[in-house]
Amino acid sequence: MHSKNNSNNQEEETKKSFIEQARRAQIVEATIAVLAEQGYLNTSFSRIAAQAGISASLISYHFKSKEELTEAVYTFITQQRQEHVAAQVAGAATATDRLRIMLEADLAYMGTRPELFQALLEILFVGRSKTDAQSHRADVVHAGFMPIAEVLKAGQASGEFGDFDAFNLAIIIDSARDGFLGQLAVYPEFDLEQFTATLMTTVLTLIKKDK
């Protein structure tokens, strides 16, 4: 734990935690694959282990409980999602641009990895065994439309957008985007670009000033 020779301590610890991180990542990826392919009900430690080519107890070794693993998967997907959007939204000048990029970047990333969204849904609508899960899910749901609601309000405050119920419109936009992603997981042949275009046209119509 606290070794005596402080020579290459950091290097060792980095390497160690590297292996650990690699394993955890491997397990998380395997879990996503199983979740997307087999559904939450069939996502047992032994199936994840089979998918990853490791033993089931190794999963317990790296994740204290199934809950912790599920949480890690959720965190991983959500972070990936947010990072991709954040990277592109940084350069947006207007509220319109920010809103456009938020939707387009998210659809572009998640739309090409339907298994991520699939896994996310499985987690959100199942892992409700513990007491705080309901509120956790609430937070999650919340997290989806709040950023959109803020952009909408910002656009209204700056006079860039027209007059509308920002809160409920945010729910509509957020649900539309996630709804399509949900469809895409089931119907891979749906046209991502076309939907994105339709959604953008729709949104621009709705936030227009002189409507």
* 202 lies in the site for a copy of itself, by CB under 8 A: yes
Cα distance between residue 38 and residue 149, in whole Å: 34
Per-residue binding letters, 22-61, with a copy of itself (x by CB under 8 A):
----------------xxxxx----------xxx------
Cα distance between residue 72 and residue 107, in whole Å: 23
* 133 lies in the site for DNA, by CB under 7 A: no
* 62 lies in the site for DNA, by CB under 7 A: yes
Q: List helix spans (H) across 39-132.
A: 45-52, 56-62, 66-89, 95-111, 114-124
* 205 lies in the site for a copy of itself, by CB under 8 A: yes
Q: Which is nearer to DNA, 44 or 88 (CB)?
A: 44
**Which one of DNA, a copy of itself, none is in contact with 113 (Cβ closer than 5 to 8 A by kind)?**
none
* Kind and range of the H or E run holding 151: helix 133-157
* Six token digits for residue 28: 């998380």
Q: Which is nearer to DNA, 45 or 145 (CB)?
A: 45
* 138 lies in the site for a copy of itself, by CB under 8 A: yes
Is the separation of the CB atoms in 211 and 164 below 8 Å? Answer: no
* 126 lies in the site for DNA, by CB under 7 A: no
In the numeric block, the tokens 């990277």 are attached to 87
* 194 lies in the site for a copy of itself, by CB under 8 A: yes
Cα distance between residue 99 and residue 42, in whole Å: 38
**Positions in the binding site for DNA (CB under 7 A):** 1, 16-17, 19-20, 23, 42-47, 54-67
